[in-house]
């Protein structure tokens, strides 16, 4: 794997740590800023909303800029967003800093994904994406638990300072190892209108919905995993970093599995991973009061959730091969539509008084819907192929005859 792809994975480690560490910081943030747990959970949604909006907007805005320069600029902006979060005096300022950080993160993901797949053969796209997603999984193993640990012992602001430092290191790696590229010229020059043409493809939209449902299923639970485990499963709060690390370890295992099998079994990986997530979430709802079962299922959920990610990314690039930058942006937005929906739906369920177990049932239903949209996409593709085959096999209509004595067979 090219060193530039590896450094992109390391950069994603910093981005992912910031994105996910709030799962272990909700309680100290809520106490310090005097807000409720569901309102603190909206900080997760704020980051996701910034990702949804930022990915396509920044991808389009930077389409004709050198990709290396774009990556450097966005990573520097992200680091500044972490500093702003660490210094935030109020919930509102912290909320805005999360959106700004998310915009930079979204642009980096979109452009970084396009760079990663451009540096490897088509048959290795899922593996290249697995390296980037592996940075995300490693963030859940190391970065998120470390952020939770810092939050408990040195205050939640220290976690933001730590991510700012990580971002500076990642920035140095991008400057050193990502190759310089000049904007393409002539016929190869990126054109926004041509790239926007991917949105005429039904399969692109099926993939958008499937990715969003899969992400929403996981984040409906993951965003509230801390209070879920402490208030329902009875796990001590100081054990949360360990459980978050187990979720991250499961994510890394899932990413490795998905990266290895997705290039040869793309659709099967998507079906199997999302269906397994639905089962894990349903079991989590049923066995929530057992701390051993809850911790084991958190590990399993990490495996199943991340196993599908390389396949879903590769599928989008395959469907939108002519528009790699917007393909990466669309995938990023799709995941984060789900990341927005999940905490929001989880907060609604908790606010309605149904409890944290109902959040797990909500996640299971969303994952089941993701299996359904995958099946619908497959059926639609087969139907379209049959229709095209019939139109090619159908003989051209004979010309109309002139007069009573037309041409004879």
First to last CA, the chain: 63
Cα-based distances in Å from 201 to 320, 321, 327, 390:
8, 12, 12, 20
Residues 368, 369, 374, 376, Cα dihedral to 10°: 130
Convert the pLDDT of each residue in 13-34 to its tens digit: 988 888 778 867 877 888 888 8
Distance of alpha carbon 108 from alpha carbon 71, whole angstroms: 6
Q: What is the mean pLDDT of residues 51-67?
A: 76
pLDDT attached to residue 401: 44
Instruction: Name the residue with tokens 């139109």.
Output: 391
39: pLDDT strictly greater than 90: no
Distance of alpha carbon 114 from alpha carbon 66, whole angstroms: 12
Q: Quickly state the pLDDT bin for 409 (edges 50, 70, 90).
A: very low
Q: What is the mean pLDDT of residues 235-253?
A: 80
pLDDT attached to residue 406: 44
Q: Quickly state the pLDDT bin for 323 (edges 50, 70, 90).
A: low
Tell me the DSSP string of 46-106: HHHHHHHHHHHHHHHHTTTS-HHHHHHHHHHHHHHHHHHHHH--SHHHHHHHHHHHHHHHH
Q: What is the mean pLDDT of residues 266-292?
A: 89
Q: Quickly state the pLDDT bin for 405 (edges 50, 70, 90).
A: very low
Question: 297 versus 400: which is more confidently predicted?
Answer: 297
pLDDT attached to residue 343: 81
Torsion region of 120: left, alpha or beta (phi above 0 gives left; psi -120 to 50 gives alpha): beta
Q: Quickly state the pLDDT bin for 62 (edges 50, 70, 90).
A: confident
Residue 24 and residue 246 in contact, taking contact as beta carbons nearer than 8 Å:
no
Q: Quickly state the pLDDT bin for 403 (edges 50, 70, 90).
A: very low
Q: What is the mean pLDDT of residues 120-127?
A: 73
pLDDT attached to residue 80: 92
Cα-based distances in Å from 31 to 115, 155, 162, 285:
41, 11, 21, 27
Instruction: Supply the mean pLDDT for the chain.
Output: 81
Convert the pLDDT of each residue in 334-390 to its tens digit: 887 887 788 888 888 888 888 888 899 999 999 999 999 988 988 888 887 777 777
Q: Quickly state the pLDDT bin for 202 (edges 50, 70, 90).
A: confident
Helix axes 3-20, 156-177, angle to 10 degrees: 160
Instruction: Name the residue with tokens 């005097």.
Output: 34
Q: Is 395 helix (H, G, I), strand (E, B) or coil?
A: coil
195: pLDDT strictly greater than 70: no
* 94-103, 259-268, 370-379: segment of lowest average pLDDT: 259-268
Domains observed in the chain = 3-179+197-389 (1.20.1250.20)
∠ at Cα 407 (401, 409), nearest 5°?
Answer: 125
* 200-209, 264-273, 288-297, 400-409: segment of lowest average pLDDT: 400-409
- Burial class for 167, CB neighbours closer than 10 Å (0-12, 13-18, 19+): buried
pLDDT attached to residue 277: 92
Convert the pLDDT of each residue in 139-152 to its tens digit: 767 777 788 788 77
188: pLDDT strictly greater than 70: no
pLDDT attached to residue 407: 41
């Amino acid at each position: 794997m090219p060193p530039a792809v590896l450094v992109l994975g390391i950069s994603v480690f910093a981005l992912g740590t910031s994105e996910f560490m709030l799962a272990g910081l909700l309680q100290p943030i809520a106490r310090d800023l005097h807000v409720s747990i569901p309102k603190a959970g909206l900080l997760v949604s704020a980051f996701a909303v910034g990702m949804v909006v930022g990915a396509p907007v920044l991808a389009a805005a930077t389409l004709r800029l050198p990709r290396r320069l774009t990556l450097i600029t966005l990573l520097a902006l992200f680091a500044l967003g972490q500093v702003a979060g660490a210094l935030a005096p109020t919930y509102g300022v912290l909320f805005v800093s999360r959106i700004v950080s998310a915009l930079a993160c979204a642009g980096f993901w979109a452009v970084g994904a396009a760079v990663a797949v451009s540096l490897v053969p088509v048959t290795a796209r899922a593996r290249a994406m697995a390296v980037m997603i592996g940075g995300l999984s490693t963030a859940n193993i190391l970065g998120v638990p470390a952020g939770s640990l810092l939050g408990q012992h040195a205050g939640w602001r220290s976690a933001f300072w730590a991510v700012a430092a990580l971002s500076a290191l990642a920035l140095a790696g991008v400057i050193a190892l990502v190759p310089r590229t000049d904007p393409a010229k002539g016929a190869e020059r990126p054109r926004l209108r041509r790239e926007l043409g991917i949105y005429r493809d039904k399969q692109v939209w099926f993939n958008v919905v499937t990715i969003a449902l899969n992400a929403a299923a996981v984040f409906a639970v993951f965003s509230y995993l801390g209070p879920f485990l402490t208030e329902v499963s009875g796990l001590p709060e100081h054990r949360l970093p360990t459980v978050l690390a187990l979720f991250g370890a499961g994510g890394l295992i899932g990413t490795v599995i998905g990266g290895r099998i997705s290039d040869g079994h793309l659709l099967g990986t998507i079906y199997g991973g999302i269906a397994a997530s639905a089962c894990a979430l349903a079991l989590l709802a049923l066995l929530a009061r057992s701390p051993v079962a809850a911790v084991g299922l958190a590990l399993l959920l990490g495996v199943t959730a991340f196993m599908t990610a390389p396949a879903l990314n590769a599928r989008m690039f395959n469907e939108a091969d002519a528009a790699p930058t917007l393909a990466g942006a669309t995938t990023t937005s799709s995941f984060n539509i789900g990341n927005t929906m999940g905490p929001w739906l989880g907060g609604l369920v908790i606010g309605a008084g149904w409890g944290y177990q109902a959040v797990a049932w909500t996640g299971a239903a969303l994952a089941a819907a993701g299996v359904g949209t995958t099946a619908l996409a497959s059926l639609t593709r087969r139907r379209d192929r049959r229709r095209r085959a019939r139109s090619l096999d159908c003989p051209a209509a004979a010309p109309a005859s002139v007069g009573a004595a037309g041409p004879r067979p």
